[in-house]
């Protein structure tokens, strides 16, 4: 029996917990199912005849208002933590628009009639809000009220439906409040006109690790192993035994066979829908039923290496139109020159799907045929310029906030958070659409809860800002 703190899942949340525990002199054991660390923020490496290509699973811009996190990563990466200029565009009705918007570009591409329609619908919604306000339950209710129907349909409702695979009228308003809560026509215009004062998604520069976001997590692995921690890949928990309000032991499948741990605490960032099934004695029926009804949206990806200096100067290009099979592509070289060999570039193409559906089941060649047809139609790329194609899939990508998710999640979390030495963290672990920064914060707070012996509010990081405001104190490397 091993008695170290156990961390299930080696994504950003799990690795941040491991790093923070290690900084406090603990030697946790990380259990990761995959071969590499970093979860959805890992970086894949491809050795090709013309050199090495790197790609994230959808490149990871780092953005946070929490300075502690920048210092936390800076301490890991030093000069490998670079600043990148941001350029994002989206494609609607045959035209490209910059995001954050540039007023001249929008008016030119949209034309006066559509612009007038946007304004009319917006004013209509303002008047309606005063006379007969809409009931606000869904993402659609929120976006239409806030922006007017024409702008909502322009690039918000269709892209959101493409991501989630369900109508916006069936997506909880929580998603709108979490993602675009601070966004309005005025804040967007203010940003376009004055280049400052906009909401948090509209930043023109961001930080990025020079060799992909996975560098953060591989560096954590190296640091914590040097200090006595253990990281087991190709490993997963099989059973989580509990007695009363405590976890007593965990069976883990490892490449060397099944091991049993008696950890003082368990930090868990594996999908909550999977975790609840591992409990012995089993979780209550209502908890298991609630978990069965929570769904994740999946993604299939293509990574294309390309015999050209650049395809675009964009970081990301979005395709909200549902007739275009992919939702977005990114050009990795525009994040860091180290992502492609000299003279070549690459594209990472994202398809949204459900595990087991048509897109999920497509072979690499089928998916490539679908994609390249569109790349040629969009005049971005010719088939003969593609040097190699790689195919990758991820199943637990987006926790779906449908209209009933909150109730179900509360049932599950009340059960899990009831164990005094179990800490559910992260995007799949708390069924919360986090970005890297929020997952890192959750991991750090779980670790601090263990170190300080008091449970912090892992979900509502804002409530624990006092801890982060104390500032990051580097430990000796």
Smallest separation, CB 205 to ligand FAD (Å): 13
Report the residue closest to ligand FAD, judged by CB. 11
CA distances from 193 to 204, 252, 348 (A): 14, 56, 32
Q: Which residues contact 350 (CB under 8 A, 6 or more apart)?
A: 58, 299, 301, 326, 327, 328, 329
| DSSP symbol at 398 | E
Query: Contact with ligand FAD (CB under 6 A): which of 161, 314, 350, 402?
Result: 350
Give CA–CA dist 113/116, Å, rounded.
5
C-beta of 148 vs 428, nearer to ligand FAD: 428
Residue 32 binds ligand FAD, judged by CB under 6 A: yes
Which residues within the stretch 285-324 sit at the binding site for ligand FAD (CB under 6 A)? none
Query: Contact with ligand FAD (CB under 6 A): which of 41, 73, 166, 240?
Result: 41
Smallest separation, CB 297 to ligand FAD (Å): 10
C-beta of 62 vs 154, nearer to ligand FAD: 62
Which residues within the stretch 54-93 sit at the binding site for ligand FAD (CB under 6 A)? 57-58, 60-62
Considering only the stretches 3-11, 289-297, 333-341, 468-476, report the one whose residues sit in contact with ligand FAD under the rule CB under 6 A. 3-11
Query: Contact with ligand FAD (CB under 6 A): which of 140, 207, 428, 468?
Result: 428
Query: Contact with ligand FAD (CB under 6 A): which of 140, 174, 437, 441?
Result: 437
Residue 436 binds ligand FAD, judged by CB under 6 A: yes
Q: Which residue has the tokens 């209710």?
A: 141
Give CA–CA dist 77/313, Å, rounded.
26
C-beta of 198 vs 271, nearer to ligand FAD: 271
Binding residue count for ligand FAD, defined by CB under 6 A? 35
Q: What DSSP letter does each residue of 424-467 carry, written as one string?
A: E-STTTTT----HHHHHHHHHHHHHHHHHTS---SS-GGGGHHH
Residue 346 CA to its chain's centroid (Å): 21
C-beta of 142 vs 398, nearer to ligand FAD: 398
> Is 147 buried (19+), middle (13-18) or exposed (0-12) by CB count in 10 A?
buried
Phi, psi at residue 38, to the nearest 5°? Answer: 115, -10
Query: Contact with ligand FAD (CB under 6 A): which of 317, 439, 445, 446?
Result: 439
Considering only the stretches 52-60, 197-205, 254-262, 319-327, report the one whose residues sit in contact with ligand FAD under the rule CB under 6 A. 52-60
Q: What DSSP letter does each residue of 357-369 carry, written as one string?
A: SHHHH--HHHHHH
**String of contacts with ligand FAD for each residue 4-23, x by CB under 6 A:** ----xxxxxxx---------
Q: Which residues contact 2 (CB under 8 A, 6 or more apart)?
A: 29, 259, 260, 261, 262, 263
- Interface residues toward ligand FAD, by CB under 6 A: 8-14, 31-34, 39-41, 57-58, 60-62, 236-237, 269-271, 274, 350, 397, 426-428, 434-437, 439
């Amino acid at each position: 029996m091993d008695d170290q703190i156990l961390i299930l899942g080696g994504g950003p949340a799990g690795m941040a917990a491991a790093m923070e525990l290690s900084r406090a002199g603990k030697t946790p054991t990380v259990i990761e199912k995959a071969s590499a660390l970093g979860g959805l923020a890992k970086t894949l490496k491809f050795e090709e005849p013309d050199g090495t290509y790197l790609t994230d699973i959808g490149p990871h811009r780092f953005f946070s208002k929490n300075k502690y996190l920048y210092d936390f990563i800076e301490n890991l990466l030093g000069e490998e933590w670079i600043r990148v200029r941001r350029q994002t565009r989206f494609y609607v009705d045959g035209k490209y628009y910059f995001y954050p918007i540039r007023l001249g570009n929008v008016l030119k591409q949209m034309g006066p009639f559509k612009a007038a329609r946007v304004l009319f619908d917006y004013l209509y919604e303002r008047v309606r809000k005063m006379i007969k306000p809409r009931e606000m339950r869904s993402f659609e209710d929120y976006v239409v009220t806030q922006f007017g129907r024409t702008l909502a349909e322009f690039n918000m409702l269709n892209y959101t439906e493409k991501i989630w695979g369900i109508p916006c009228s069936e997506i909880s308003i929580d998603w709108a409040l979490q993602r675009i809560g601070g966004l309005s026509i005025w804040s967007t215009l203010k940003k376009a006109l004055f280049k400052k004062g906009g909401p948090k998604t509209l930043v023109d520069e961001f930080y990025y690790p020079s060799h992909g976001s996975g560098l953060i997590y591989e560096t954590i692995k190296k640091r914590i192993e040097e200090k006595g921690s253990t990281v087991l890949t190709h490993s997963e928990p099989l059973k989580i035994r509990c007695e009363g309000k405590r976890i007593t032991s965990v069976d883990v499948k490892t490449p060397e066979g099944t091991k049993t741990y008696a950890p003082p605490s368990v930090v868990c960032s594996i999908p909550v829908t999977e975790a609840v099934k591992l409990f012995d004695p089993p979780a209550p029926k209502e908890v298991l039923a609630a978990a069965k009804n929570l769904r994740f949206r999946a993604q299939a990806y293509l990574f294309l290496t390309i015999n050209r200096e650049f395809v675009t100067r964009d970081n990301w290009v979005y395709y909200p139109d549902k007739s275009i099979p992919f939702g977005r592509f990114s050009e990795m070289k525009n994040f860091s020159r180290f992502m492609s060999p000299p003279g070549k570039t690459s594209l990472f193409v994202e398809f949204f799907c459900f595990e087991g559906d048509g897109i999920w089941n497509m072979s690499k060649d089928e998916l490539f045929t679908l994609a390249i047809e569109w790349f040629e139609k969009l005049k971005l790329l010719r088939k003969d310029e593609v040097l190699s194609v790689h195919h990758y899939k991820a199943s637990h990508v987006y926790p779906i906030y449908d209209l009933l998710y909150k109730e179900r999640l509360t049932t599950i979390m009340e059960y899990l958070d009831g164990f005094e030495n179990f800490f559910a963290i992260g995007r799949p672990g708390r069924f919360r659409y986090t970005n890297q920064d929020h997952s890192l914060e959750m991991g750090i707070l779980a670790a601090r809860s263990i170190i300080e012996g008091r449970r912090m509010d892992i979900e509502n990081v804002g409530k624990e800002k006092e801890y982060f405001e104390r500032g990051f104190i580097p430990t000796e490397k």
